[in-house]
């Protein structure tokens, strides 16, 4: 994390909430003007949730607002990516690592007064399996049986050992819910967290009241998240006092318009911006062509253009710096000469240049990046065409769904998504490597997860399955007197309870 005073400008927009669709189907629709009423601390950001039901809607916006604030899990993920107790005080794992026995806290209730116990925990896990339509429900596929042993003792049996499962229980799929709260998931979520929902103004804001009967350390102040369509509006609201901080600043060139007393902190995120190559489509069905792209792209230049160097270079690998298997190894140094050699080895030359089309989603950051990589690829011998694809509907249908593309650029924000992106040969990347799948399985089922994940990443990068351009920074701008803000994003939550304004 970097903390500094700013006078320099930065650059463009990156959308980290690509799969959230805008609509007005739930909650209050009254227009919010000025500061959110009743909130002592107000966070401004983008990525508006269409509803509050992440069981049916993908994307980062809903869990960002609700996880750690309204919902909690049996476990939580700390800032180092470690698994810590939360609603479960402790747990034991069987010798075969397939049976987890959780001792649950006995002093917890949901915000509507329902007791939290082994029955509600069993219900929550099975609800993911049987009722969720969010694709992340697959994280619960490994669960074979859930049994209530006592009022506050839960036993979960897995079909095979899985390191990923317990970690996922600290994310949205592990959110503990009560059956009586299901009918109002989209408008009035009920959880065990330090806040209760006060008001949901669709497209504008979410307000939270401190729970006086919270089982843990109470939140410092009532809070709200205010949503903006652009960075100018967010900065104007910060200047006027309508909000107290900007989370995920998307146009940092505006920072030099702010008074000197505003503080800026820069953290890391789960957002890897990936330059994807369809491994099933020519010319990218040839590993040498993919490797040529990886050497042709100047990631440092992309970082400077898009974030003025504030993003983290992952060495081209799809691993955020907060994951234990992050090494920072530079898999593909910028080397136009080597890129030309690889194209020649693949049978291409000046009279036979590979023709490629980049399907660019209609997102500002992708548009900016595409113009730069267009030049870099052309320089080493590609004939490049840029075509804009409407995002999200058309991009999701054509690129993610039908795999009808050659290259694209998109931010993937889900935590620890390497198995999803590179472990499924039917995925949109078309990456198919049995050795990588073996390492991913060993990482999930074995005892040395870090070693196997690093081996899997090495295999992905040897095949140049895709190129990560950078790990997106989280730029947070704080007004004077705001404390308790951690800019690093490890899971899917924007924790409000420790924030306060003097």
State the pLDDT at residue 267.
92
3-state secondary structure 229-240: CCHHHHHHHHHH
Domain hosting residue 175, numbered range: 72-185
* Over residues 90-107, mean pLDDT: 97
Identify whether residues 103 and 52 lie together within a single domain.
no
Are 368 and 414 members of one domain? Answer: yes
Mean pLDDT of 288-306: 96
Number of structural domains the chain divides into: 3
pLDDT at position 33 is 58
The pLDDT value given to residue 22: 32
Whether 16 shows a pLDDT value over 70: the answer reads no
Q: Residue 23 pLDDT > 70, yes or no?
A: no
pLDDT higher than threshold 80 for residue 15: no
What was the pLDDT predicted at 257?
83
Over the stretch 472-494, which tens digit does the pLDDT of each residue have?
999 999 999 999 999 999 998 99
More confident residue, 391 or 436: 436
Among 185, 210, 242, the domain boundary falls at: 185
Average pLDDT, the chain: 91
Q: Is the distance from CB of 425 to CB of 139 less than 8 angstroms?
A: no
Same domain, residue pair 124 and 197: no
CB neighbourhood size of 137 (10 A):
16
Question: What mean pLDDT do residues 229-234 have?
Answer: 88
Q: Does 205 lie in the same domain as 311?
A: no
Q: Are residues 494 and 442 in the same domain?
A: no
Query: Which among 182, 221, 152, 156 is positioned nearest to 71, based on CA atoms?
Result: 182
Distance of CA 443 to the CA centre of its chain: 21
State whether 460 and 313 are in the same domain.
yes
* pLDDT tens digits for range 419-434: 989 999 999 999 999 9
Residue 467 pLDDT more than 90? yes
Note the pLDDT of residue 159: 98
CATH code: domain of residue 131: 3.90.76.10
Question: Do 81 and 50 fall within a single domain?
Answer: no
Question: 171, 491 in Cβ contact below 8 A?
Answer: yes
Last residue of a domain, one of 168, 185, 202: 185
Q: What is the pLDDT of residues 115-135, one digit of tens each?
A: 999 999 999 999 999 999 998
Same-domain check for residues 142 and 283: no
User: Range with the lowest mean pLDDT among 15-24, 54-63, 238-247, 254-263?
Assistant: 15-24
Q: Is residue 14 scored above 70 in pLDDT?
A: no
Give strand pairing partners of 101.
92, 155
CA–CA separation, 341 vs 322, rounded Å? 35
For position 392, what pLDDT does the model report?
82
Burial 348-377 (b: 16+ CB within 10 A, else e): beeeeebebebbbbebbbbbbbbebbbebb
Q: How far apart are the first and last CA of the chain?
A: 23
CATH no. for residue 327? 3.10.105.10
pTM, two decimal places: 0.84
Residues 100 and 118 in one domain: yes
Do 334 and 421 fall into the same domain? yes
> What's the 3-state SS for 353-386?
CCEEEEEEECCHHHHHHHHHHHHHHHHHCCEEEE
pLDDT tens, residue by residue, 46-68: 888 889 999 998 878 999 999 99
Rounded to whole angstroms, what are the CA distances from 363 to 11, 118, 369? 14, 44, 10
Write down which residue in 185, 204, 232 finishes a domain: 185
Tell me the C-alpha to C-alpha distance, in Å, between residue 244 and each of 239, 247, 373.
9, 10, 37
* pLDDT value at 331 more than 50: yes
Higher-scoring residue by pLDDT: 19, 485:
485
Looking at the structure, do residues 64 and 122 belong to the same domain, yes or no? Answer: no
Q: Which helix (H) or strand (E) holds 478?
A: strand 466-478
Q: Examine the pLDDT at 2 and tell me if it is beyond 80.
A: no
Provide the token pair at 170.
Answer: 């600290």
Look at residue 27 and tell me whether its pLDDT is greater than 50.
Answer: no
CATH code of 46's domain: 3.40.190.10
Q: Same domain, yes or no, for 218 and 208?
A: yes
Q: Which helix (H) or strand (E) holds 206?
A: strand 205-210
């Amino acid at each position: 994390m970097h903390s500094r005073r700013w006078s320099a400008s930065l650059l463009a927009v990156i959308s980290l909430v690509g799969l959230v669709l805008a609509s007005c189907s739930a909650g209050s629709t009254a227009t919010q003007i000025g500061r959110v009423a009743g909130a002592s601390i107000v966070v401004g950001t983008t990525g508006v949730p269409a509803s509050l039901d992440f069981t049916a809607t993908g994307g980062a916006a809903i869990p960002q607002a609700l996880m750690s604030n309204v919902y909690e899990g049996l476990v939580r993920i700390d800032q180092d990516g470690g698994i810590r107790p939360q609603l479960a005080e402790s747990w034991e794992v069987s010798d075969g690592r397939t049976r987890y026995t959780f001792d649950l806290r006995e002093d917890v209730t949901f915000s509507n007064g329902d007791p939290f116990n082994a029955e509600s925990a069993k219900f929550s896990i099975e609800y993911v399996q049987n009722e969720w339509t969010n694709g992340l429900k697959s994280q619960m596929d490994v669960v074979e049986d859930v049994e209530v042993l006592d009022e506050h003792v839960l036993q979960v049996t897995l079909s095979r050992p899985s390191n990923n499962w317990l970690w996922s229980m600290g994310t949205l799929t592990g959110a503990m819910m009560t059956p009586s709260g299901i009918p109002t998931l989209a408008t009035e979520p009920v959880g065990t967290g330090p806040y209760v929902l006060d008001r949901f103004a669709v497209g504008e804001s979410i307000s939270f009241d401190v729970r006086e009967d919270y089982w843990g350390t109470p939140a410092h102040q009532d809070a709200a998240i205010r949503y903006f369509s652009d960075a100018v509006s967010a900065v104007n609201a910060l200047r006027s006092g309508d909000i107290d901080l900007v989370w995920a600043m998307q146009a940092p060139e505006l920072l030099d318009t702010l008074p000197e007393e505003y503080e800026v902190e820069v953290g890391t995120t789960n957002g890897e911006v990936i330059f994807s190559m369809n491994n099933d489509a020519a010319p990218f069905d040839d590993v040498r062509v993919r490797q040529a792209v990886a050497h042709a792209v100047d990631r440092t230049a992309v970082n400077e253009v898009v974030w003025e160097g504030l993003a983290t270079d992952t060495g081209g690998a799809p691993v955020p710096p907060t994951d234990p298997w992050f090494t920072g190894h530079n898999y593909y140094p910028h080397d136009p000469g080597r890129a030309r050699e690889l194209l020649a080895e693949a049978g291409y030359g000046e009279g036979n240049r590979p023709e490629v089309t980049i399907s660019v989603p209609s997102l500002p950051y992708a548009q900016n990046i595409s113009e730069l990589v267009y030049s870099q690829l052309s320089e080493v011998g590609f004939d490049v065409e840029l075509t804009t694809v409407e995002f999200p509907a058309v991009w999701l249908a054509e690129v993610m769904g039908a795999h009808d593309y050659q290259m694209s650029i998109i931010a993937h924000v889900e935590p620890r998504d390497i198995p999803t992106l590179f472990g499924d040969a039917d995925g949109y990347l078309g990456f198919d490597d049995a050795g990588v799948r073996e390492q991913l399985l060993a990482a999930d089922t074995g005892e040395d997860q870090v070693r196997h994940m690093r081996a899997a990443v090495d295999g992905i990068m040897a095949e140049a399955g895709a190129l990560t351009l950078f790990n997106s920074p989280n730029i947070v701008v704080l007004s004077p007197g705001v404390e308790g803000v951690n800019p690093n994003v490890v899971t899917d939550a924007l924790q409000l309870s420790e924030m306060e304004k003097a």
